[in-house]
Chain A
Amino acid sequence: MYDILIAPFAEFDFMRRALVGMLALSLGGAPIGVFLMLRRMSLTGDAMAHAILPGAALGFLVAGFNLFAMTAGGIVAGFAVAIGAGVVARVTELKEDASLAAFYLVSLALGVLIVSLRGSNIDLLHVLFGSVLALDDDTLILLAAFATVTLLVLAITWRPLVLECVDPGFLRSVSGAGAPVHIAFLALVVLNLVGGFHALGTLLAVGIMMLPAVVARFWAADLTRMIVVAVVVAFVSGYGGLLISYHFGLPSGPAIILVAGAIYVVSLFLGPVGGLRRRFAPGRHLEA
């Protein structure tokens, strides 16, 4: 048992680093995923991940495989798209999803254009699918910093953020915090996607945010519990995925996301809140 579950992490430094990285991603990304899901913005995360790619690629092409350049590029591109889309949605008639689609498509096309100018691509696969087994000290510190910022900002903006989700009209009538809180939230989405792409790549980073959130929906009916469940599921997926990739020699990023996917399927059937179990075996009705 020890050999299967603990030894890989006790023996190998890169496995420990990967586990710590996944812990940081779980703490930051999962709560953000829960809010994205509750605001019916699940696909927004996906769109935003596409928006980050060209920025990271630009950083890579300018400075090579440099943590700072790629992070900065990704953040700038992600912020520009998120804030641009948010502003357009607020001051015009366009809905958020449509304005985001417009911005990320332009950003994506721009990115592809930039990449094709240089034409280097082997390391770019790295960017697309990540390298959770090759996290260095700087990257780990960055991931931990992102998680810290995320949790702090969520703690500070919690009330207006929840209010903005439940009853935006009421928030507008009592406070002007709606727009700044919304933009801060989008900034957190970008931050966590950029963090996620160092470990899992731009394409799978969304997975560790959204899958645990969707799983949590089946196990908790209350926001706080939902977030706790999501964080635990995200971390368990990271742990389980790393073990599977170690023992069976599989790529770690997809293994992590597939473990989360397996938990999703199980929850779909067994989850007590609105899952299939309730539908097919509801139990006898109550007295009142």
Chain B
Amino acid sequence: MTAAVRFRDLTLGYDRHPAVHHLNGTVEGGSLLALVGPNGAGKTTLLKGIVGLLSPFSGAIERSLSPGEVAYLPQIAEIDRSFPISVYDLVAMGLWRRAGAGGRIGKDERALIEKALATVGLEGFEDRSIGTLSGGQMQRALFARLLLQDARLILLDEPFTSLDAGTVADLLELIRRWHAEKRTIVAVLHDYDLVRERFPEALLLARSPVAWGPTEEVLRPDNLLRARRMCEAFDAHAAVCDEHAA
């Protein structure tokens, strides 16, 4: 199995303050990895780093995939729900890699879009504007867009927050399917029970990595306690870090 992403002594952050501190490790191709940790542990930051939205302070992120093969689902707040665009058009954006800024959306593409909408259970919602969707329906639409992106590496930032059990079950089924198709999935999650049940591998982050490996071992109480302690308050007068890679 080849590495999908490799972190080499990676430090990421904002305004010189590290949010991810000296991370080493490899996300194997085809793995289903849960990224867990307290608020402010650097989980979202790490995803942004993998997508390439943030440049490392030091160290490196090595990706074996081209940017078009990576799909990123951010937390829902970044979308302007008041923009007058239909569910169909929002989902169709997933074909960007195929159609780009000017490519044709022909018969084949329309069939793909309809299939994706059907897969997430949004048939009949094509012409609705995105402002009329409930939170769960919106997340279904975004998963339909992910389906169309047909990416090898899929990054999900808290995909199940405030969704009902039925929607979570449907979306988990999609993730299971992606996993069976040997895609690599990294998901930020807070529900440890769900992680234990569905994710074979976990990375516990508290700015610095606490544990990375099989989920049962990572989510042990002593690790979780250590993670909470390590995520201490932001220090505006922190000294310059001169720790070297282990």
CB contacts (< 8 Å) of B85 on chain A: these are 162, 166, 223
Q: A123-131, A153-161, A196-204, A233-241: which one contacts chain B?
A: A153-161
Chain B residues with CB below 8 A from A175, complex form: 96, 100-101
> Could you tell me the distance in whole angstroms from the C-beta of A91 to the nearest C-beta in chain B?
13
Best-surrounded residue of B71, B74, B85 (most CB of chain A within 10 A)? B85
Q: Within 8 Å of chain B (Cβ to Cβ): is A38?
A: yes
Q: Does A163 reach chain B (CB closer than 8 Å)?
A: yes
In the complex with contacts A166-B90, A223-B85, A173-B70 CB distance below 8 A: yes
In the bound assembly, the distance between CA atoms of A162 and B129 in angstroms comes to 14
Question: How far is B88's CA from A222's CA once the two chains are assembled, in angstroms?
Answer: 12
Q: What is the distance, in angstroms, from B142's C-beta to the closest C-beta of chain A? A: 9
- Alpha-carbon distance between A220 and B86 when the two chains are bound, in angstroms: 13
Contacts of B90 in A (CB 8 A): 166-167
Q: Give Cα A157–Cα B130 distance, bound, in whole angstroms.
A: 22
A217 CA to B90 CA, complexed, in Å: 20
Contact B84 A226 (CB under 8 A): yes
Given the complex of chains A and B, what is the CA–CA distance between A162 and B96 in angstroms? 13
Dominant SS among interface residues on chain B:
mixed
**Contact between chains at B84 and A174 (CB < 8 Å):** no
Is A262 in the interface zone, CB < 8 Å from B?
Answer: no
Q: Which residue of B lies closest to A176 (CB)?
A: B67
Tell me which residues from 119 to 145 in chain B have a Cβ below 8 Å from any Cβ of chain A: 129-130, 145
- Residues on the A chain within 8 Å of B86, using CB: 222
The answer for the CA separation of A169 and B47 in the assembled complex, in Å, is 13
Is A174 within 8 A of B97, CB to CB?
yes
Given contacts A38-B84, A223-B85, contact A174 B96 (CB under 8 A): yes
Q: Which residue of B lies closest to A162 (CB)?
A: B85
- Contact, CB under 8 Å: A169 / B78: yes
Q: Which residues of A contact B72 (CB under 8 A)?
A: 169-170, 173
Q: Are A159 and B102 in contact (CB under 8 A)?
A: yes
Q: Nearest chain-A residue to B68 (Cβ)? A: A174
Interface residues of B in 61-90 (CB under 8 A from A): 67-68, 70-72, 74, 78-80, 83-86, 89-90
Give complex CA distance A172, B189 in Å: 23
- Least Cβ–Cβ distance between A53 and chain B, in angstroms: 31
Inter-chain contacts of A38 with B (CB < 8 A): 83-84
Whether the pair B93, A165 counts as a contact (CB closer than 8 A) is no
Interface residue count for B (Cβ, 8 Å)?
A: 27
With both chains docked as a complex, state the minimum distance between the C-beta of B156 and any C-beta of chain A, in angstroms.
13
> Bound complex: CA of A169 vs CA of B78, how far in Å?
7
Q: Is the pair B84, A223 in contact by a Cβ cutoff of 8 Å? A: yes
Contact of B93 among A157, A163, A226 (CB under 8 A): A163
CB pair B93 A167 closer than 8 Å: yes
A139-181 CB contacts (< 8 Å) to partner B: 156-157, 159-160, 162-163, 165-170, 172-175, 177
For A222, the chain B residues whose CB sits under 8 A away are: 84, 86, 129
- A221 at the B interface (CB under 8 A): yes
Select one of B67, B74, B89, B101 contacting A169, CB under 8 A: B74
Q: How far is the CB of B103 from chain A (nearest CB, A)?
A: 9
| B 150-194 contacts with A by CB, 8 A | none
Partner of B80, one of A157, A160, A166, A174: A166
Q: Does B53 contact A (CB under 8 A)?
A: yes
CA of A250 to CA of B86, assembled, Å? 44
Tell yes or no: B210 within 8 A of A by CB. Answer: no
B-chain residues with CB within 8 Å of residue A174 when the two chains form the complex? 67-68, 96-97, 149
Q: Is B51 an interface residue when CB atoms closer than 8 A count as contact?
A: yes
Q: Is the CB of A177 within 8 A of B101?
A: yes
In the assembled complex, the Cα of A157 lies from the Cα of B71 at a distance in Å of: 22
Sorted nearest first, the 5 A-B pairs with minimum C-beta distance are A169-B78, A174-B96, A173-B72, A166-B83, A167-B79
Subset of 12 A-B contacts with CB under 8 Å: A38-B84, A159-B101, A159-B102, A166-B130, A169-B78, A172-B53, A175-B96, A175-B101, A177-B101, A220-B84, A221-B84, A223-B84
Residue positions of A touching B, CB distance < 8 A: 38, 156-157, 159-160, 162-163, 165-170, 172-175, 177, 220-223, 226
17 additional A-B pairs beyond A173-B53, A174-B67, A174-B68, beta carbons within 8 Å, are: A38-B84, A157-B101, A162-B83, A162-B85, A163-B96, A166-B79, A166-B90, A167-B79, A169-B72, A170-B74, A170-B79, A170-B145, A173-B72, A174-B96, A174-B149, A223-B85, A226-B84
